[in-house]
Amino acid sequence: MAEAKFLIIKQFITRQIESRVWAENAKVPSENELANQFGVSRMTARRALQELTDEGVLTRTQGLGTFVASLKSKSSILEIRNIADEIISRGHQHHCVQIKLEAVKATAPVSIALEVEEGSIIYYSQLIHCENSVPLQLEDRFVNPRLVSDYLAQDFSQTTPHTYLSQMAPLTQAHHTIEAITPEPFQCKLLKLSGLEPCLQITRKTWSVKGVVSYARLTCPGTRYRLDSQLTF
């Protein structure tokens, strides 16, 4: 049950930092110093320092030394899950109602987002995700036809665009914005809303290695949907 040596050194270092003995940006003992102090080989001391560096606790620069990383105001992160997974993991039933699936001309804002020429032909899908038959999210999606040529041939009552697209072109990057909006009349109608309730609007732009894959606008009624996230540091 005796703990590994490099773990003991890691603990020692993190405790020095947490108890403010070693301040931010302070110099940490070198590999050789730690090795002598703890009676281990340099490689073992090195491992402790290296892992803490990978974890963002320390920073190291060759020739200079090892230092306590600046703690920087920890910005939390929120997981944005695929809504289908989310519904299913709640033990509820998910299904899509496909409303539109067609080729359209790119308007100015969409062409900028997709990085294609204004007026060029792109693919557009509109569908509603339902949880136990209640509309939960309206998905308007614009897809780059150069990267996903047979998008229009799909049937999105079976698989969602998101899962289809991630299979076709693995994501390398994503950009999200989240806003609170007052829904447009057509959105109210599709989501069966009275009209006065605010909506969460998530826009999601995704890249693969070859370029912008798709640009989606996800609209969710504020009374029915909520983004949720639990995380540990």
Partner DNA sequence: ACAAAAAACTTGTATATACAACCCCAAGTG
Partner DNA sequence: CACTTGGGGTTGTATATACAAGTTTTTTGT
Residues lying near a second copy in the complex (CB under 8 A): 18, 54, 73-82, 85, 162-163, 166, 170-182, 196-200, 204, 220, 222, 226-233
- 5-18 helix and 42-54 helix, angle to the nearest 10 degrees: 50
Distance CA 222, CA 25 (A): 44
Of the pair 30, 82, the CB lying nearest a second copy is at 82
> Measured from the CB of residue 48, what is the shortest distance to DNA in angstroms?
9
- The span from the CA of 34 to the CA of 9, in Å, is 8
Please, what sign has the CA dihedral across residues 164, 168, 171, 176? negative
Pick the piece of the chain touching DNA (CB under 7 A) from 26-34, 142-150, 152-160, 193-201. Answer: 26-34
Among 18, 20, 21, 62, binds DNA (CB under 7 A): 62
**For residues 160 and 137, is the Cβ–Cβ distance under 8 A?**
no
| Contact flag: residue 10 with DNA (CB under 7 A) | no
Gap between the Cα atoms of 186 and 75, Å rounded:
36
Nearer to a second copy, 84 or 128 (CB): 84
Q: State yes or no: residue 201 binds DNA (CB under 7 A).
A: no
Binding site for DNA (CB under 7 A): 4-7, 28, 30-33, 39-44, 46-47, 49-50, 60-66
